[in-house]
Amino acid sequence: MRVTVIGLGLIGGSIAIDLRKSGVATRLTGVDQNDDHASEALRLGIVDEIKCLDEAIINTDLIILAIPVSAMVGAIGDLLSRVTPEVTLIDMGSTKAAICKSIRLQRNRGQFVAAHPIAGTENSGPGAAFSGLFNKKTLIVCEKELSSYSALRVADKVFAAMGVKTIFMEPVAHDRHVAYVSHLSHVSSFLLGQTVMDIEKDEKNIFDLAGSGFASTVRLAKSSPDMWAPIFEQNVEYLSQALLEYIMHLQRFHYHLMKGDSKEIHRIMTEANEIRRVLAGIELKDEKTNNVESLIEE
């Protein structure tokens, strides 16, 4: 299959690597508006060639879009109106409501599959891409019923190459759930990083004391603002709600702390400990085999 990857960062680059490794891609064409990223991806052998967008979308079978979600909204509609009917488009955006809404009435909506792989690291750019990033992770597909049989067939091959387990959600439900679990974590980490650098003037102390758990809590604060700012903005409604809840919980904790209410402090922490049980299932999930043909009901 001839594959075009638009956006050669961590996500697009890692998919390209998986598609080549699995044999799904027979030729990989890359597009990136950042010339440095484009030439780095070529140099690293992630793609076979770099083309401009107009050339990259002809004579191809599959287009993977892995660009910031702010650019995604206009791009997918534009691409759908220009590609031939055999081409499949799959996006990897972290928000889904605005993207799905933007092309819902498009004549050839069926050629598009809306996807969000729940995977990533705090690193960005083609140099951060690696094989296995998506292995055994969850990938959410939205509005599967609006994708054509042939597009879903192509998507199945891509998702199998990535090694993901697919689940389905409505776009609005998707955005709400990822705001609560993923986007809030990123905000909490970004602001923790900023706060600590603000109050702890001596960087040497941050460095010396980071082994205390700070390093892992603040890991996501290293994430790319170019990728994450548009996600937060597109998901402002649910993220705002989650953020206000978080602030409220922090304020309540602070109140009990100041009151010296040991019992309540202990109770809140014990309640939070429940997250161990909730997350324990992750290991179980990792044992499962992937449902390779999950997109198509036979």
Q: Mask 239-268, x = binds its own copies (CB under 8 A)? A: xxxxxxxxx-xxx-xx--xx-x-x--xx-x
74 binds its own copies (CB under 8 A): no
Of 9-17, 76-84, 151-159, 199-207, the window that binds its own copies (rule: CB under 8 A) is: 199-207
Q: What would the two tokens of residue 113 be?
A: 């599959």
Region 139-178 residues binding its own copies, contact defined as CB under 8 A: 167, 177-178
CA–CA distance, 158 with 62 (Å, rounded to integer): 10
210 binds its own copies (CB under 8 A): yes
Region 107-136 residues binding its own copies, contact defined as CB under 8 A: 118-120, 122
Residue indicated by tokens 């997109």: 295
287 binds its own copies (CB under 8 A): no
Candidate residues 40, 69, 190, 234; the one interacting with its own copies per rule CB under 8 A: 190
CA–CA distance, 249 with 268 (Å, rounded to integer): 10
214 binds its own copies (CB under 8 A): yes
246 and 188 Cβ atoms separated by less than 8 Å: yes
Cα distances (angstroms) measured from residue 177 to each of 25, 114, 136, 154, 174: 32, 16, 20, 27, 5
Provide the residue count of the chain: 298
- Among residues 202 and 298, whose Cβ is nearest to its own copies? 202
276 binds its own copies (CB under 8 A): yes
89 and 75 Cβ atoms separated by less than 8 Å: no
Residue indicated by tokens 């999930």: 285
Region 215-244 residues binding its own copies, contact defined as CB under 8 A: 215-223, 225-226, 228-229, 232-233, 236, 239-244
